[in-house]
Amino acid sequence: MSNVLIAPSVAEPRRVPLTGRPRPGEAVIRGALVACGWFVLATTLAMLGFLARTGIRGLGEVGVGALLSGDTWKPEAGSFGGLALIVGTFATALGAIALGAGPAVLAAVWLTEFAGESVARGYRRVMEIASAVPSVVYGWLALVYLVPIFEKLAHAIRGDDAPVTGEGIAASAFLLAVMIAPTVLLLSLDALSRVPRPLRDASAALGASPWQTAFSVSVPYGWRGLLVATFFGFARAAGETMAVQMVIGGARRLPRDFFFSPTTTISAQIVMDMQEARPGTPENDVLYSMALVLLSVSVVVVLVTRAMARGQAR
| Minimum distance from residue 71 beta carbon to other proteins (Å) | 23
| Cα(196)–Cα(185) distance, integer angstroms | 19
| Minimum distance from residue 137 beta carbon to other proteins (Å) | 5
Work out the end-to-end distance of the chain between its first and last CA atoms, rounded to an integer number of angstroms: 35
Please tell me whether residue 30 binds other proteins under the rule CB under 8 A. Answer: yes
| Cα(123)–Cα(281) distance, integer angstroms | 50
Asked if 192 and 112 touch (Cβ cutoff 8 Å), the reply is: yes
Write the binding mask 44 to 83 for other proteins: x where contact by CB under 8 A, - elsewhere: xx-xx-xx--x-----------------------------
Phi, psi of 135 (to 5 degrees): -65, -30
Beta bridge partners of 13: none
| Minimum distance from residue 164 beta carbon to other proteins (Å) | 22
Query: Which range in 59-67, 141-149, 161-169, 222-230 contacts other proteins by CB under 8 A?
Result: 141-149
Query: Which range in 66-74, 118-126, 150-158, 168-176 contacts other proteins by CB under 8 A?
Result: 118-126
Residues 274-303 that bind other proteins (CB under 8 A): 274-275, 279-280, 287-288, 291, 294-295, 298-299, 301-302
Residues 238-277 that bind other proteins (CB under 8 A): 238-242, 245-246, 267, 270-271, 274-275
| Cα(107)–Cα(87) distance, integer angstroms | 30
| Minimum distance from residue 158 beta carbon to other proteins (Å) | 27
| Cα(233)–Cα(120) distance, integer angstroms | 21
At 20, which amino acid appears? G
By CB under 8 A, name the one of 34, 98, 149, 199 that touches other proteins: 34
Burial class (CB in 10 A: 0-12, 13-18, 19+), 174: buried
